[in-house]
Copies of this chain bind each other. A is one copy, B any other.
């Protein structure tokens, strides 16, 4: 078999099938597939080693399509590998087909959900790191578009890949000169692009992306490199169709049914030699080297009673939940080799350094680049790691798009945000997480936790490690707060704790995190006045423990005060009012309703109207209004 002729034949078939499937779908991006077809042919039909019957084989070389809109050319490759049928291919973008318009895990050969550009390389960094940690000798390939390298996240990933010397990471830019709406920044200046990656520490090649020989030579050379490899491939958008090739305004324009036969004929005519290829067309990729199969990690069990730090968790001791988070991570590290932790140069604030101190080899410094930290955590998680990524809660907003995509990808990403709310004090509003609960609640299947003390934090981190149906998030507090719970107290995702209750409560104060301590102070002061109120620790913001909330409200004169160190939108208060709107319960909501500033934590809690005094004042107004 003449390999070059075979690969050119396959490239032609991929082109034809990309045009056919998008035409059948009536939407999609055929011209973005045509530029990529030769590279895909070379990768899937020559270079990559993988078990085509088992996408989960840990030894497989991996392929991430960062320019997700070109996924039809990859689906076409799977057709020619015999993984899907032609009928299935032509169901592209249909409601019942797993072959979506951009890659999602509904088609199990898609390595990651992409479609928001600039994220694939960071996921690839995670894959490459996972292989290194596991001693797997595979290669992760990432295909990017030239438009998407304008995204800063690409350069964050490039930075870390070089710093980590990820020789097992090979990326290709399909440099087809045209973006969605106009030419890209560097158009066909492939050397300019290559120079940029070289300055970031990559081994680089600029090649003709329609020359099988040049593509193969660069991919072959990459195997010997000691750094990550970037191949900048000069291609033409719509390559093979004279009426569209290298022309603007054909992005996302499939052929009308009446145009389809002409387009297929034009492709066959243009690539006559390939069309006339008569050799073997069945192809099975070389199998990967066997890796030692690892069992899926069983549920991890944390035992606080035997933790070396347990004295710090004694009732009444003061221990910030962020510090408890660090101890819990270290404990997880002891029970599973799969646990890895990612930092954005704030480990001494989030206390991930407690993990690093014990497990430096499983600690990944991502520097101040939160987007890539989240994408890399996504990649590690997809490759079986139990990864926790942590930074200040406010800085996770930097990675909202990456978080959103991990949600679509059904990735059990585990995140922590510290320094939540105005209670951080003097550093001021730029450092305060005040929108994180809403952001994290919006992710489908997410779990959102906001514990008030060290014991509940420790135990909830253990639950996060075992939660696999979606993302989980834990919000931690800067200041030291008293331990409220005994070591044997149990906490659950979706649970809550009634921390104060009597037979005659006039209201239930619903709080979490720092405001629970304000609620307890309010409780104490009201009790001194002879007023009983209930207090609920609503540590599971999502799912919310609506049953307990409802029962407790009904025993507390159907009155609720929700108090949180967060803005209104999407926070605990909106979750509670949404849940109770039809319950005939009166709800008051205290939240941060201004732009905060520098000041002491006590001043800022008072200024925002979420301290103990504000709770008491609100309750008193409330009583007067209700003529109690």
Contacts and interface: CB of A to CB of B under 8 A. Distances in A.
A406 to B, nearest CB: 11
A152 B113 contact: no
A115 B425 CA distance: 14
A188 interface: no
A438 to B, nearest CB: 5
A231 to B, nearest CB: 17
Contact of A181 (B179, B353, B444): B353
A347 B113 CA distance: 25
Contacts of A196: 196, 199-200
B182 A365 contact: yes
Nearest to A25: B426
Contacts of A148: 368
A438 B570 contact: yes
Interface in A436-478: 438-439, 441-445
Interface string A138-157: 00000000011011111110
Contact of A104 (B117, B184, B428, B569): B428
A206 B485 CA distance: 56
How many copies of the polypeptide does the oligomer hold?
2
Interface string A25-40: 1111000000000000
Contacts of A13: none
A435 interface: yes
Contacts of A581: 577, 580-581, 585-587
A589 B597 CA distance: 36
Contacts of A607: 95
B367 A115 contact: no
A444 B369 contact: no
B118 A368 contact: yes
B568 A150 contact: no
Nearest to A251: B348
A550 interface: no
Contacts of A106: 597
A395 B401 contact: yes
Contact of A430 (B115, B394, B438): B115
Interface residues of A, number: 109
Contacts of A443: 435
A100 interface: yes
A573 interface: yes
A152 B156 contact: yes
A570 B94 contact: no
A38 B178 CA distance: 45
Nearest to A352: B181
A84 interface: no
A427 interface: yes
A411 to B, nearest CB: 12
A391 to B, nearest CB: 11
B394 A404 contact: yes
Contacts of A603: 95
Nearest to A148: B368
Contacts of A438: 438-439, 442, 569-570
A372 interface: yes
B369 A595 contact: no
Nearest to A29: B427
Contact of A102 (B68, B101, B425, B431): B431
A220 to B, nearest CB: 26
Nearest to A586: B582
Contact of A570 (B343, B408, B442): B442
A621 interface: no
A577 to B, nearest CB: 4
A180 interface: yes
19 contacts: A93-B599, A95-B607, A101-B426, A102-B429, A115-B428, A116-B430, A150-B369, A151-B156, A151-B398, A152-B154, A152-B155, A152-B371, A152-B372, A179-B345, A199-B199, A400-B401, A408-B595, A445-B595, A574-B574
User: 9 shortest A-B CB distances, which residue pairs?
Assistant: A152-B152, A115-B430, A570-B570, A95-B599, A199-B199, A441-B569, A150-B367, A442-B569, A435-B442
Interface of A: 25-28, 68, 93-95, 97, 100-102, 104, 106, 113-118, 147-148, 150-156, 159, 163, 179-182, 184-185, 195-196, 198-200, 249, 343, 345-349, 353, 365, 367-369, 371-372, 394-395, 397-398, 400-401, 404-405, 407-408, 410, 425-431, 434-435, 438-439, 441-445, 567-570, 573-575, 577-578, 580-582, 584-587, 589, 594-595, 597-600, 603-604, 607
